Amino acid sequence: MEFLASALAGAIVELGKCFCGCAYSKIENYTKFRSNLDNLRGEMASLIILRNSVKEIIAEAKRDGHELLNPALVEWLEQVEQLDTEMGSFIVASTTNNNGETLSKYCPSCCFSCKPVLEVTRKLKDVKQLIHQGSLLRQTADAELKLGKQEVPKGQSIPGPSVPSKCLDSVLNLLNREDVNRIGVWGMGGVGKTTLVRTLNNTPSFMQPFSMVIWVTVSKQFDNRRVQIDIAERLKLDTTMEESMESTAHRIFQRLQLEEKLLLILDDVWEAVDLDHLGVPEPGDHPGWKLLLTSRSLDVCRQMKTDEDIKVEVLGDEESWKLFTQNAGKVVNLENIEQVAKQVARECGGLPLLIKIVGASMRGKEMVQLWEDALSEMRRSPVPNINGIHDKVYKPLKWSYDALEGTTIKSCFRFCALYPEDFSIDVKELIQSWLAEGLIDELRNYEESTNRGIALIENLKDSCLLERVDFDAGTVRMHDVVRDLASWISSSSSSEDGCKAFVRSGLGLINFPEVETLDSVKRVSFMHNKTRKLPQFVVHCPEVSTLLLQGNGFLEILPEGFLTAFKSLKVLNLNQSRIKKLPQSLLQLRELRALLLRGCADLKELPPLGGFTKLQVLDCGQASRIKELPQGMEELSNLRALDISFTRALRHIQSGTLSKLSSLEFLDMSCGARERLTRYVELAYLERLTALYIDLDFSRLASGSFEWIERLKRFHFIIGDRSYGREYFYGSGYTEKKVTVLTLCLSGKYFGWLLNNVSALTFDSCEELEKFPESLGSNVCYSALRFLTIAYYNGKFLSSNAGFCQIPNLELLELGCVHHLESISQLASTLGLEFSKLRTIKVRCCEKLKYLFSVGGSTSALENLVSITLIDCEELEELFAYGSSSANPLPHPIVFNLRRVDLQRLPKLEHLSGENESWNCLEELEIFWCEKVRKYNDAKLEACE
């Protein structure tokens, strides 16, 4: 009986366990169901809010006339709409039983299963996934809306090989700077200015800070009304041609006032645009407003009052090849094609537009003969016969030429095409030729003519038709494609002034080319070839005014009959040739205005020149074997410029010769024989002389009268024994009033009178330099002196103080091999130098130099210093000494505007600056072989690129 009771009790317990477990599971499922259902309702509400937000973005885009047609966005909206429609019935079905009764929130049915839980969980997961997708799509839609603020032709949206990344970064940095409101992007036609700006515009992250972006293509056919209508249409303002510009401008002005941050892009600007006339407020008057313009002319950027200008340069070889391969395709990788293809790409001169056209024209061409023909065509013809080049490259490039004002500058531009490809053109030689051809007004004096020539060159550079040469400030070059353009224009019979040219320069030719006629040609260039002898007779050239034969290093003979064909010659250039004498037929060239013989090292004599009454320029510089000036020299009444520099064999100049050159304005006699130093007494009679370069004998200076020096506008006087001088430190220049003192002991010397108007002073291999203040005279201030160079000085600088600031406006200080100098502060104390206007410091091979300046005490901040160069100073430990010995440390950094620092071979240098020093303006830092410089961020190089 007890057994039966026990068994029955066990069964009841097991049955209870089973019932309770089932009930517990039902309760757990229902509780989880209710929780997920509540979460589902909440997430669904968030999804609906996100959907409405996306719809609002789409509606806003439509109001601005922009369609957001992202297929993924459209599909997402459809999924959300479908889910929203289904969600109501799903929730109802999930919360009722089979009899249609609503489940109690607190008393779930015991029949409740886990199926509704799984369905709600699945729906919740779907909703969350849609919210995640929608958030990403919303960001994209918002970015597209920002991009939709501007309508431009679609282009590349990421930097490609046709968009130099450095230029892109520079423009972006300027857009982010609060102090820059107007940005100019300039460069030659086809270089990629529009592509660069389009890349910025088509990249949403770049344009995100702006509430409105307006892009207007101005173009060469500039029309104020059209540009204004383009802006109005962009702002959704209705316009009619009948409405006045003033009325439209007022409405544009009112509408733009609603924009907090505006970017106005003016593309392809050829002349200044009056923003006020269009109704666009000045960017500088509204914080956050920017103007970005592109132009071929730097002068246009200046007229638009840009704060910063960025020049877009042509591509380098690597970038050019990458762009070329993109357009030419895989054919360039064929073994028999690749090398020729690289040469073809190189002939494009790094110009992206030309690279694209030539590359596309060669796409798929697998015959090497076709590539060789293309290469030959590009080398031989100014405008290659390749499909699209004329209309898409040279015709648009010619617009830059057409935009030049006046026939004079156009003729000067075409003259530059007489020089070979990739050639560094000497500016002085160029201006001499222009003057002789009459391209520069002869009524100007020589100084004014030179300045006018420089102005013309700068104008051509600003128009991207000439380029500066980085390593030689006295030269310019012409881009290969621009040169081809100039050659094409010059060879055309429709040339504006009929000044056609026959050009065979830099081709390595041995013989002068045979041609049937040169009747209509006015310029002939056969320079820089390999000819040894010119022909005795050539076809008659009645109109040729310029004959360029310079750089023919093998040319020894100029035949008697050759020049007889050039009766109208005005410019004859034989520079750097090996001719030994000039033919008598030269005397028949009565129209000759410029005879250029510079560097003719084998030329021993000149024929009588008395009959050349129109000769204005005679350059015999570096013709080192000429022993005497030609007969009749004193009869050259119109001679304006004479260069006999570096003619040491010319030991004697006949008395009275120089003084009779009444029109002489420019004279270079530097580096001549010491025996002719006495001739400078005649210079006082040259009343029109304004530029003089000459060696002076210091022993004779005290006895002569030199008041005439005051009328000189440019000069370089070399005092002392030049044979010991180093050309590196005082190379000839034609821009300053300069004095170079060589190998003199300064003790007891007084030449303060000579330095009254001097802007540049060099001491080379002198002695007792510490006596320099005494040689200037007491309490005399030389405010004109801006450049000081000291080279090869073995003396010591004592702790003596000059007691008076004699040179207050120094801008450049250059030191080389000043062997016992310990600091520049020491030099300043000894020589009486003031550095408040100092801009550039260059120091080389000063082995005892420990630092540049001591900070504190009477030391003033170097607020104008922008460049420091230090090379081979083995004891240098720091740039600025911040030691405790400084009585009154400066409360602010010693350098405010330092932009460039070049440090080389400084083995003991450890730190660039002190703890509190900040170089926020630094743009370029070069450090080579400075092993102990551990931390570049000492100077907080925030702006350094």
pLDDT at 496 over 70: no
For the segment 317-329, the average pLDDT, to the nearest whole number, is: 89
pLDDT at 794 over 50: yes
> Average pLDDT over the chain, rounded to whole?
80
**Confidence at 850, pLDDT banded by 50, 70, 90:** very high
pLDDT tens per residue, range 252-262: 888 888 788 88
Strand order in the sheet with 290-295: 212-217, 262-269, 290-295, 182-186, 308-311
Output Rg (C-alpha) for the chain, integer angstroms. 40
User: What are 477's two structure tokens?
Assistant: 């070059």
pLDDT at 599 over 90: yes
What is the β-pairing status of strands 880-881 and 900-904?
A: unpaired
pLDDT of 6 reads 53
Residue type at position 816: G
Give the three-class secondary structure for 7: helix
For the segment 920-930, the average pLDDT, to the nearest whole number, is: 86
For the segment 359-364, the average pLDDT, to the nearest whole number, is: 86
pLDDT tens per residue, range 435-481: 999 998 877 788 888 889 999 999 998 888 898 887 667 899 888 88
**Which range scores top for mean pLDDT: 6-15, 219-228, 402-411, 547-556?**
547-556
Distance CA 755, CA 782 (A): 7
pLDDT tens per residue, range 329-353: 989 889 899 999 999 888 888 888 8
Q: Is there a contact between 339 and 378 (Cβ–Cβ < 8 Å)? A: no
For the chain, give the percent of residues with pLDDT over 90.
Answer: 25
Give the residue, 395 or 498, on which the prediction is more confident: 395
For the segment 714-739, the average pLDDT, to the nearest whole number, is: 66
For the chain, give the percent of residues with pLDDT over 70.
Answer: 78
Cβ neighbour number for residue 873 with a 10 Å cutoff: 26
Q: Is there a contact between 495 and 517 (Cβ–Cβ < 8 Å)? A: no
Distance CA 869, CA 851 (A): 13
Transcribe 41-104 into DSSP letters: HHHHHHHHHHHHHHHHHHHHHHHTT-----HHHHHHHHHHHHHHHHHHHHHHHHTB-TTSPBPP
Q: Is there a contact between 694 and 717 (Cβ–Cβ < 8 Å)? A: yes
For the segment 727-754, the average pLDDT, to the nearest whole number, is: 68
pLDDT tens per residue, range 801-818: 555 677 889 999 999 999
pLDDT tens per residue, range 815-842: 999 999 998 888 888 888 888 899 999 9
pLDDT of 889 reads 41
Give the three-class secondary structure for 875: coil
User: What are 514's two structure tokens?
Assistant: 């045979």
pLDDT at 413 over 90: yes
pLDDT tens per residue, range 8-25: 555 554 545 444 444 445
* Pick from 56-65, 546-555, 668-677, 819-828: least confident: 56-65
pLDDT tens per residue, range 81-124: 888 887 777 766 666 655 555 544 444 444 445 556 677 788 88
**Confidence at 904, pLDDT banded by 50, 70, 90:** very high
pLDDT of 161 reads 57
Q: In terms of C-beta distances under 8 Å and separation of at least 24 residues, what long-range contacts does 529-535 make, across chains too?
A: 529/504, 529/505, 530/554, 531/555, 532/556, 532/557, 533/557, 533/559, 534/558, 534/559, 534/562, 535/511, 535/559, 535/562
Residues 6+ apart with CB under 8 A from 620: 597, 598, 600, 603, 606, 626, 643, 644, 647
pLDDT of 109 reads 47
Q: Is there a contact between 275 and 282 (Cβ–Cβ < 8 Å)? A: yes
For the segment 680-697, the average pLDDT, to the nearest whole number, is: 86
Distance CA 772, CA 765 (A): 14
Q: For the chain, what is the largest distance between any 2 Cα atoms, rounded to a whole number of angstroms?
A: 161
Distance CA 945, CA 942 (A): 9
CA nearest neighbour of 215 among 163, 267, 279: 267
pLDDT at 378 over 90: no
pLDDT at 888 over 50: no
Give the three-class secondary structure for 618: strand
Give the residue, 915 or 930, on which the prediction is more confident: 930
CATH class of 165-311: alpha beta
Q: Is there a contact between 515 and 502 (Cβ–Cβ < 8 Å)? A: yes
* Pick from 161-175, 288-302, 762-776: least confident: 161-175
**Confidence at 64, pLDDT banded by 50, 70, 90:** low
**Confidence at 654, pLDDT banded by 50, 70, 90:** confident
The residues spanned by each domain of the chain are: 17-147, 165-311, 324-387, 404-498, 713-849, 852-945
**Confidence at 153, pLDDT banded by 50, 70, 90:** very low
For the segment 37-51, the average pLDDT, to the nearest whole number, is: 82
Residues 6+ apart with CB under 8 A from 31: none
For the segment 777-781, the average pLDDT, to the nearest whole number, is: 66
Q: Is there a contact between 564 and 540 (Cβ–Cβ < 8 Å)? A: no
pLDDT of 236 reads 80
Give the residue, 32 or 453, on which the prediction is more confident: 453
pLDDT of 14 reads 54
pLDDT at 46 over 60: yes
CA nearest neighbour of 546 among 513, 489, 577, 503: 503
Domain 404-498 part of CATH 1.20.272 = no
Crossing angle of helices 407-416/480-491, nearest 10°?
Answer: 120
pLDDT at 684 over 80: yes
